[in-house]
Chains A and B, each alone.
Chain A
Amino acid sequence: MAETKTPEPQQSQSTEAGCPPRRSVEVIYERSLPGHRGYRLPRGAAARWEAAIDALPETLRRKRPPELPEVTEPEVVRHFIGISLLNHHVDRSLYPLGSCTMKYNPKINEELARLPGFALLHPQAPETSLQGILALLWRFERELACVVGMAAVSLHPAAGAQGEMLGMKLFRAYHRHRGHAKRKVLVPDSAHGTNPASVVLSGFEPVQIASGADGRMDLGAIRAAIDDDTAGIMVTNPNTLGLFEKEIAAVAEAIHAVDGLVYMDGANLNALVGLAQPGAMGVDIVHLNLHKTFSTPHGGGGPGSGPVAVTAELEPFLPVPIVERTEAGYRLEHGRPLSVGPLHPWCGNAGVVVRAFAYLHSLGAEGLAAVSRAAIVNANYLMKQVADSFPVAKREWCMHEFISSASWTKKHKVRVMDVAKRLLDFGFHAPTVSFPLIVPDALMIEPTETETRPTLDRFAAALREIAREVRESPERVQQAPHSTCVGRLNEAAAARRLRVRWQAAKERDDAGGA
């Protein structure tokens, strides 16, 4: 085993982190100079512009130009490149956010998604002129269905939460079709917050189920909660503690006994691809996050894609339009009487799907199994390296992620968020903090399959060093981060003042305020 040196945190004036010396962050409006512009339009019939504007009703016309910045192209570029340097990102180093699956985003996918024959396609061109993209969508639906062992897939949801919502709409449509008026959906207390929110958004009542002592679903508690009013259950597998839900098949059987449905949150599918299929677990509906398991970039918060896979019984309820293959070629079918209706302006985030398609085809079946395998090995390896400084919540092997706890630091007046902030000084992103709610002071850590052992060792070493600091010089941790472009920002004061647009800041200055 290679020796790992204790990493040195970056000094405050260092530019190694890509951070310039500390100063206020600049906004594009502050580069504005009257009369500057960053783009020239084609020379058009300038004389006609005024006439064209005059043809619009005067009462509907704008009286003065919108307050947009006036900036040349080089200044725009410098501004955005300048602020880009203030971001942590996967291409820089480890991004171990639990349940977010921050794996490497292959470069080829960006190139392929930008082919004009994909990027510039208008959805309303004649179907005969769209056979390539329709074929890609049709194939990818079937390939994803195969990955999760289900009968059919909709690529329409724009993100995981919209996939969850579609799941709940499918609950509604199914039960309506069966003549049921069921209202309750069971949700384990370890679930992502989107789960209960999606339940409510679709007119169901969430019933929270406490986890068992081992951090998994408690079959007895679930059986006790099930009655004729139970529309179904939402299960995350592996769950947010990184544990496989061993009883999922028994849970599904109990739910199916009252004609309920099992929805699986597939946010953690990176642990299962090629290894275990939701279709074999009794799951009726599962969503996948292409921006997690299938390597499409998160883009600073989106766009994503959250396809939903279902059993053959639920296929007639999927959103329209559906890509169909006929002898004459591919076409879009809009007439599906049982469909929940449309969910997206067209067929989902096709631009994201192209990237995920390329990723899946770069793997094949063997590569897919290698992904979950390496993700699980990395998580377990890192768990053992971290456990001596931040104890692990559950004493057993984990799947793709694990939960450490920072509870012990409280006796040194150091909070879990302080530990997270101190990690930033070591050039790493922090893990997910204070989630899941059922583990006090949780650090939820997911390394993904794309990290190497030396990287994991450096991260574990940083956590060891921070644990030492907590005991020996807690103020160093409490006041972190020290190397970032700004210090810790006062979120409470920000919420009170609520300056959410540039105009407000300027008006404040005009008024002579601070």
Chain B
Amino acid sequence: MSNIGHTPQEERAMLAAIGADSFETLLDQVPSALRQQKPCDLPPAQSEFELRRTLSGLAAENYDPLRSLSFLGAGFYDHIIPAAIDQIVLRSEFYTAYTPYQAEVAQGTLTTIFEFQSLICALSGMEIANASMYDGASAAAEAMLLAGSATRSERVLLAESIHPRTRGVIETYLDGSALEVLTLPERKGQVDLAALEQALTEKPAAVLLQQPNFFGLLEPLDRVAELQQRLSAETHLVVSADPLSLALLAPPADFGAQTVIGDVQPLGIPPQFGGPSAGYFATRASHARRLPGRLVAEATDAEGRRGFVLTLQTREQHIRREKATSNICTNSALMALRATIFLSLLGPTGLQEMAALCAARGQQAAERLCGIRGVARRHAGPFWREFVLTLPREAEDAVERAYEAGGVLAGVPLSRFWPERRRELLVAVTEKRTPEEIETLAETLEKVLA
């Protein structure tokens, strides 16, 4: 019990000092019928040394990420993580601090949040960004709620080409709200513009697209924007954008987006079996008072020194209660800090090089893999980092064999999201993958598909 502040002797002395006969005296308010009679059935306590052995053993029952070759994507990507990030976030000052409620002793956290907001605005082109959300999916759901409250329309339109899990989370969040979820079908992997044109005549609260979309394809945001502005200017164009792609792609603000959201996992956050990551939420200044979550602003003290504070807290649940714009309280500040350090280290040139390398390696891999008999790209459209292949056999079977053949994680079978898409494989190629490793993937697939 090395983390408990006192010994049994000290406890007795403390109880005596406050006039309590025993610990039981303090519990007079807990009805005996509600007291736990039997201890929980838990494994015996382990020392630090034993814990390390137990947990290392469990970790070893997973694949070894350092010795496997990953082409897995679908929302979580195997990007470079600069060493400085972990050293900084392991500072007790950052990771053992609470939400910055007392600004004068939280300037470290508040400054990093202000920086995160600034960097997200720079990438997305928006005017205001919050301190972070749990993840990209919950950010998307909150964007739908914001659009609903800003427009008073009762429908939101989700492109079929967004991450199916994001769609699922939005549906869960909106159950019980006044908003109805409609689907905008895909055509050749991208948003169907004819269907969009028709749907916009219904003046939905929002239309949500993902850029690049779930299949890695670039959505024609220029043409979407043109339709949206012509047919339903009040509709919120909401773009879920991969923040790394924004080093190369025009900021969604250029296309009139009202809100830009996404997940910052590609920016220095390990995949951790799906979380924690952090979502970002950026919008127009005119929506500041509808923004979910925390927001940090520049402030000054009485002598004019600059510092940072939480601001517009009257939007938030701890003040506004049932009238709050969102119920979010804890967010993902430490993961947002990872992204902030990542972007500071990479800078504009490094980020562009990384994104360009993803584009180049992706194209290189697609070319090479389409040279395998029976393998072809599923869609013809332009893509970044990730693309869908059609295989001559079931994708689930192929990835299992590829893994067993030599630790190659060849991609994500789309049948996991759409059971009927049995032969489609989503392949992601990041800057970490060398031409030799792409060749290894190709040779492995040749073998298992033969």
4 new A-B contacts at CB < 8 Å, known A83-B107, A200-B322, A499-B298: A73-B82, A85-B93, A89-B97, A498-B297
0 or 1 for each of B336-359: is its CB under 8 Å from A? (1 = yes): 010011011111111111101101
> Smallest Cβ distance from A463 to chain B, in angstroms?
16
Residues facing A in B291-338 (CB within 8 A) are 294-303, 305-312, 316-324, 326-335, 337
Tell me if B368 counts as interface (CB < 8 A to partner A). no
Residues facing B in A41-57 (CB within 8 A) are 41-42, 44-45, 48-53, 55-57
B59→A450 contact, CB < 8 A: no
User: Which of A255-263, A342-350, A469-477 binds B?
Assistant: A342-350
B82→A39 contact, CB < 8 A: yes
A65→B349 contact, CB < 8 A: yes
Closest-by-CB residue of A relative to B246 is A66
0 or 1 for each of A238-271: is its CB under 8 Å from B? (1 = yes): 0000011010110000000000000000000000
A-B residue pairs in contact (CB < 8 Å), sample of 8? A25-B307, A172-B175, A200-B322, A297-B95, A299-B95, A352-B275, A378-B6, A500-B129
Tell me if B101 counts as interface (CB < 8 A to partner A). yes
Choose among A48, A274, A373, A424 the residue that contacts B40 (Cβ–Cβ < 8 A).
Answer: A274
Contacts of B201 in A (CB 8 A): none
User: Which of A217-225, A308-316, A358-366, A408-416 binds B?
Assistant: A358-366
> Smallest Cβ distance from A432 to chain B, in angstroms?
8
Contacts of B48 in A (CB 8 A): 108, 362
Count how many chain B residues have C-beta atoms less than 8 Å from C-beta atoms of the other chain: 212
Contacts of B318 in A (CB 8 A): 192-194, 435
A503→B359 contact, CB < 8 A: no
B251→A345 contact, CB < 8 A: no
Residues facing B in A445-471 (CB within 8 A) are 449-453, 455
Choose among A25, A51, A56, A424 the residue that contacts B248 (Cβ–Cβ < 8 A).
Answer: A56
> Smallest Cβ distance from B384 to chain A, in angstroms?
7
Contacts of B340 in A (CB 8 A): 28
With known contacts A38-B344, A62-B247, A381–B327 Cβ distance under 8 A: no
Contacts of B334 in A (CB 8 A): 297, 299-303
0 or 1 for each of A113-136: is its CB under 8 Å from B? (1 = yes): 111111111111110111111011
> Smallest Cβ distance from A321 to chain B, in angstroms?
10
A130 to B61, CA, bound (A): 7
With known contacts A133-B273, A346-B273, A501–B121 Cβ distance under 8 A: yes
> Smallest Cβ distance from B333 to chain A, in angstroms?
3
Count how many chain A residues have C-beta atoms less than 8 Å from C-beta atoms of the other chain: 215
A421→B102 contact, CB < 8 A: yes
With known contacts A22-B305, A68-B347, A341–B333 Cβ distance under 8 A: no
Contacts of B323 in A (CB 8 A): 200
> Smallest Cβ distance from B212 to chain A, in angstroms?
10
With known contacts A37-B350, A303-B332, A500–B114 Cβ distance under 8 A: yes
Choose among B61, B75, B114, B303 the residue that contacts A487 (Cβ–Cβ < 8 A).
Answer: B303
Contacts of A244 in B (CB 8 A): 29-30
> Smallest Cβ distance from B439 to chain A, in angstroms?
13
Tell me if A328 counts as interface (CB < 8 A to partner B). no
Closest 4 CB pairs of A and B: A203-B176, A346-B274, A117-B59, A299-B334
Closest-by-CB residue of B relative to A334 is B416
Tell me if A232 counts as interface (CB < 8 A to partner B). no
A132→B306 contact, CB < 8 A: no
0 or 1 for each of A372-396: is its CB under 8 Å from B? (1 = yes): 0110111011011000000000001
A66→B327 contact, CB < 8 A: no
Contacts of B353 in A (CB 8 A): 41, 49
B351→A486 contact, CB < 8 A: no
A48→B360 contact, CB < 8 A: yes
Choose among A66, A165, A362, A501 the residue that contacts B51 (Cβ–Cβ < 8 A).
Answer: A362
B270→A197 contact, CB < 8 A: no
Tell me if A490 counts as interface (CB < 8 A to partner B). yes
Tell me if B431 counts as interface (CB < 8 A to partner A). yes
> Smallest Cβ distance from B101 to chain A, in angstroms?
7
Tell me if A322 counts as interface (CB < 8 A to partner B). no
Choose among B115, B136, B343, B364 the residue that contacts A502 (Cβ–Cβ < 8 A).
Answer: B115
Contacts of B230 in A (CB 8 A): none
Choose among A81, A199, A301, A429 the residue that contacts B102 (Cβ–Cβ < 8 A).
Answer: A429
A450→B5 contact, CB < 8 A: yes
